[in-house]
Amino acid sequence: MNRTALIQLIQRKQSFLCVGLDSELSKIPAHLLDSEDPVFEFNKQIIDATIDLTVAYKPNLAFYESQGLKGWQSLDKTMQYLNSFKDEVFTIADAKRGDIGNTSRLYAQAFLDPSSSLNFDAITVAPYMGEDSVSPFLSYADKWVILLALTSNKGAFDFQLFENKDGKKMYQEVIEKSVTWGNSGNMMYVVGATKAEMLGEIRKIIPNHFLLVPGVGAQGGSLAEVAKYGLTKDCGLLINASRSIIFASSGLDFAAKARAEAMNMQQEMKAILLEI
């Protein structure tokens, strides 16, 4: 999905919501555990309940890799199902890969290549090893790299906010350097919602790039604050919510409750978009 198609999708659905499919087996409603593939069945019902309200889905690979072969099968089935919707959803592999060039090339092939059964639109990448670890992911047309820039965890203070002698923070250095590797049509950045006040400074560096913003919902980030500092004329935001939507209920009504939570966010997003 290229930039134009993503913007059109946001406009059509009046939403910039990304649902994180952090489908932890121990939290899946008990009545699904007897199904052939509980994780896929859970994902499918969440997708069916929210697809008209969201523009993106983001499986976090840890919840699938930790289940071994069964987890990969669940992920594969989930992606085949999502890819059947074609232009209706943007898919993100929350894999946080980043290694030497040859290894990154194979990671990119696994997650982004159209011949792969996964065939994601985007993948999260850690930029610590530099340009040659990121460039293989940028070699696919209409696919996206989403670089970790400023995360919402408390450990972000260990490195990302470290200042050099000129007072520039490390995350700013990462953005300024990496922005030359791609463009606003194939690169996004992860910026945590709990760091919303820093979005103004980030927008001075990358005024047009899309930002993937986790931390709204269960982590307490404010959608209004993120929009205040991060919104662009093309929206420029994908707001991820995971637990607050997919685990809104652990009962038979889990899909309906997920839809209700997603609708609340979509309605707030619609109001924000109407003001652009």
Which residue numbers are catalytic?
96
Cβ atoms 213, 192 nearer than 8 A: yes
Which tokens belong to 109?
């092939």
E-state strands within the chain: 17-21, 56-59, 90-97, 122-125, 144-150, 187-191, 210-213, 237-241
Q: Name which of 275, 261, 274, 258 is nearest 48 in CA terms.
A: 258
- Are the beta carbons of 216 and 240 closer than 8 angstroms? yes
Cα gap 122→132, rounded to integer Å: 18
